[in-house]
Amino acid sequence: MDNSSPSPFTRNYTSEADLAAIACFPQEGPTDKTGIHPPCRPVQAKSPAVLLDASLQGKNLVRNFVPPQNQETPRGGQNLIALYFPKRFFKAAQGAMVIDGLKGRDFVSMADLSPGELGGLLTIATQLKCGQLTADCPRKVLGLLFRKASTRTRVSFSVAMVQLGGQVLDLNVQLTQVSRGEPIRDTARVLDRYLDALAIRTYDQGELAEFAHHANMPIINALTDLEHPCQVLADLLTVQEAFGSLEGLTLTYLGDGNNMAHSLMLGCALAGMHIRIATPPDYVPNEDIVLQARALAGDRSEVILTDDPKAAVAGAQILYTDVWASMGQESDAESRIPRFQPYQVNNALLAGCDRDAIVLHCLPAHRGEEITDDVMEGPQSRVWDQAENRMHAQKALLACLLGAI
């Protein structure tokens, strides 16, 4: 065909925002009686990896593109088809690229991901949620070893694994030898013989590191005192759904410099988002995590710490909070209230944000303390979408770690 002539595919995809690339490649198979090659058909495979082909002239080409039904098939000779690919197809391919790289790996920190892997996970989560992608891991078993109470984490992991076709074994710590002091290295080696993955919710981050050292199966951080990375996957998925993209957005976190602040700093840095952490002076985040987040952010975004909540919220697109006293700190809860009161997410502080700002809370919430009831139930709240997205984000994570796509 004459590559200088306009392609019918440009009719619906003419802006720079939609047109990602033009790929020309030989079309295999016989032509029909009119001399036209049959339209590209989707490959009925569960992995989007079939869409990515890097073998032709060193360039990434998306194959098996399905033209919109109202478009013609390009005509021409020499067995060539020129296709204009909307960016959404390349986004799907980006998600495909992370699958093999994550298979069998541990996920104990947000920093375990690269920016590309984070973006790919969010893409896969979106596709799973919308039904554009399926994943299946029959006969796989996920273990839950929780030392801390849990509602959303326990239920979302369980439902995600069942929807993937696998099973869940809830390992009640009080009913196992863990409660009697069995060494972690022994427990890890034994469970590694039974399970395909293990999600751990505990106090000490070092416990996860020891499990990961002695077990070959993927170890997942379902919350520690240092980090809560699975929550941040859901948070970023919710933000992406609200704004379409992540890079360049500003997230303000108000409250305690706890595990949520830590994982949010790392996640935002990976996503190219600006993050402002506003805490009382004596409750700042871990200095090592701050330095790690700033190193990940580089010159793409900023990681700012402040004790001024009004300055922190100015122009922010996302306003985020968490309880003022985390699990294990209940004895300090009452004494913290006067110190943290200026950091309460209320209508006055929300008014200082961007007019299209959304409000997030990882739950459970102490209404009337870190967040007012009217904000949590207000039109800018995305708290319930955020909670639902725990399931979708963790389903994508499990599917990748277990090679289920």
Q: Which residues are catalytic?
A: 201, 228, 231, 322, 362, 390
Query: What does the block give as tokens for 111?
Result: 């920093």
What residue spans of 245-332 are helical by DSSP H? 259-271, 287-297, 309-313
Instruction: Print burial letters for 35-65: b (CB count within 10 Å at least 16), e (below 16).
Output: eebeebeeeeeebbbbbbbeeeeeebbbbeb
Instruction: Please give the Cα distance from 377 to 355 (Å, whole number).
Output: 17
3-state secondary structure of 52: strand
Query: What does the block give as tokens for 354?
Result: 């961007």
Instruction: Please give the Cα distance from 78 to 303 (Å, whole number).
Output: 54
- Between the alpha carbon of residue 29 and those of residues 37, 40, 53, the distances in Å are 7, 11, 18
Instruction: Please give the Cα distance from 147 to 174 (Å, whole number).
Output: 9
Instruction: Please give the Cα distance from 39 to 63 (Å, whole number).
Output: 12
Instruction: Please give the Cα distance from 155 to 379 (Å, whole number).
Output: 26
3-state secondary structure of 143: strand
Judged by phi (left if over 0) then psi (alpha if -120 to 50, else beta), residue 61 lies in beta
Terminal Cα distance for the chain, rounded: 37
3-state secondary structure of 210: helix
CA dihedral over 32, 36, 37, 42, signed as positive or negative: negative
